[in-house]
Structure 1
Amino acid sequence: MKIESFVFDFDGTLAELRLDFAEMKLRLSSLAESYFAPTPPPPFLPVLEWLAWLDKRIRESNGDRTGEFRQKALTLISEMELEGARSGALFSFTRPLLKALAQKGAKTAIITRNCEAAVRLVFPDLSDYCSAFFSRDHVSSPKPDPAHLIHALESLGADLRTAIMIGDHPLDIQTGKAAGVMTAGVCSGSSSRDELVRAGADWVADDCQRLIELLTTMESGDGCSRPVS
């Protein structure tokens, strides 16, 4: 089946951004101590879920200050994301790959849990290469909530049957599966091939460039196993 719509994650998928999530969690916990004596959140939670856990506990114990905490926490996260973006860069293949997909008539979008400002710092001409872009700032609940992906697909006028979600983290695979589209993992970011396979990715490749080459081979009728390597 020909894939007509490609939705990409950003960090680790189209760009290299160095974010210290462990340090981010420590700073959030230190901030939370000003509002209540927190029990550390479960360590496996991603940062935004870590924040939600702390926010819920503050609401339960000190409800009148939860808005204040959340605003300070989001500012802290955004500042660290911008710091990471300043030392980050697009992968060398990103612009040529997106341009080539557009020339073939494919629809492309980027969705990310990162803030818009950080992404545009790394990819200021994003709008010239991608049909749609939705950061966490643009949605009420970011991925792995499938609504984030579905919103992007709707903006593209995409058919779910010919759409694919591509990312470097199991959360991306989870998001795509929940939305009912094909999924592909790339090993250019934070997750290993085994982790992406266990998450249920339909295909796995070293990076987006290799992935598109493999998908093109598949569409040409040469065949392709799942997951690919």
Structure 2
Amino acid sequence: MSHLTVFDLDGTLVDTPRAIVETFTAAFGALGVAAPPPAVIRATIGLPLERAFGDLLAAAPDGELVAQGVVHYQRLFKQIILPRANELIFPGVAEGLAELRARGGTLAVATSKFHASADALLRAAGLRDQFALVVGADQVSRPKPDPESGLLVLRTLGVAARHAVMVGDTAHDIHMAKAAGMRSIAVTYGVHGADELALAGPTWVADTFAEVVALLSAEPAHGAEPYDIGVRPEAGEPAR
């Protein structure tokens, strides 16, 4: 049976956070509204666009101003981020994904991006062919940290949660994995720092993508389930 790894996209596979802040800032300019400080915008990465704009504009997520902001963001995304996609891939990601595929693993993406934007970014980065499935925030009614995205991946690919691992750089990813019954690897090189990730209670923590691949590739010992390596942190205990 092939085992499944579900990846977040921004801040996990592709180093887009700085470009995302730049795109949000440009979208605020197009709205004629003063942009929040970069740190405030960065804190919304990992949330669906409507919720992020709603929080940043102190407006209803389903309101007209938020809808306009999303339209501007999607237009500017194509101008600012897509042309740089290939150079934004984190070190070791392309090689690591190929290695996991070669070992017989099934790979998927669950992201807070809209599906079309995620698919376009993966294609521009030359990574799309590595993934059996890409699930975007607009394909579910309750995006991360709700488990719906993860459950949709599991159901579509026919994989039990115990045979899946979520890899992400935010607490939203870890909470989604927990609620869906999946184990998780928190990567510390993205948006949320190690302390914030530890509070979310990931199964494992990795500082580089090479460490992610090493965790996923470890041989099971004494009949343990594949990926069942190391020590699972208890609830509230920082991952080691």
TM bin, normalised by shorter chain, reads: 0.7 to 0.9
Residue identity in the other structure for 1:191 = H
Deviation at 1:168, TM superposition (A): 0.6
Aligned equivalents of 1:31 and 1:109: distance in 2? 35
Q: Does 1:19 align with 2:15?
A: no
Q: Which has the larger radius of gyration?
A: 1
One-letter amino acid of the structure 1 residue matched with residue 194 of structure 2? R
What is the identity percentage for the equivalent residue pairs of Structure 1 and Structure 2?
27
Query: Partners in 2 of 1:13 and 1:225 — Cα distance?
Result: 23
Give the alignment of 1:180-219 within 5 angstroms.
180-217=181-218, 219=220
Relative to structure 1, the CA distance from residue 220 to residue 12 in structure 2 (aligned partners, 3 Å threshold; closer, same or farther) is farther
- Structure 2 counterpart of 1:84, one-letter code: I
User: Is 1:76 matched up with 2:98?
Assistant: no
Task: Give a deviation string over 1:143-177, Cα, whole Å, max 9, x none.
Answer: 22211111111111111111111101111001111
TM-score by structure 1 length?
0.75
Which ranges in structure 2 are unaligned for 5 or more consecutive residues? Answer: 34-39, 223-227, 234-238
In structure 2, what residue type is equivalent to 1:19? A
SS at match of 1:183: strand
SS where residue 219 of structure 1 aligns? coil
Match of 1:9 in 2: 8
In structure 2, the CA distance between the partners of 1:94 and 1:159, relative to structure 1 (3 Å rule), is same
Q: Distance in 2 between matches of 1:30 and 1:86?
A: 20
Structure 2 Cα separation of the partners of residues 110 and 162 of structure 1: 16
How many Å separate the matches in 2 of 1:57 and 1:105?
Answer: 45
Show the counterpart of 2:153.
152
| Structure 1 residue 118: Cα displacement | 3.9
Residues 1:161 and 2:166 are matched in the alignment: no
Cα-Cα RMSD: 3.4
Gapped regions of structure 1 (runs ≥ 5): 34-41, 60-65
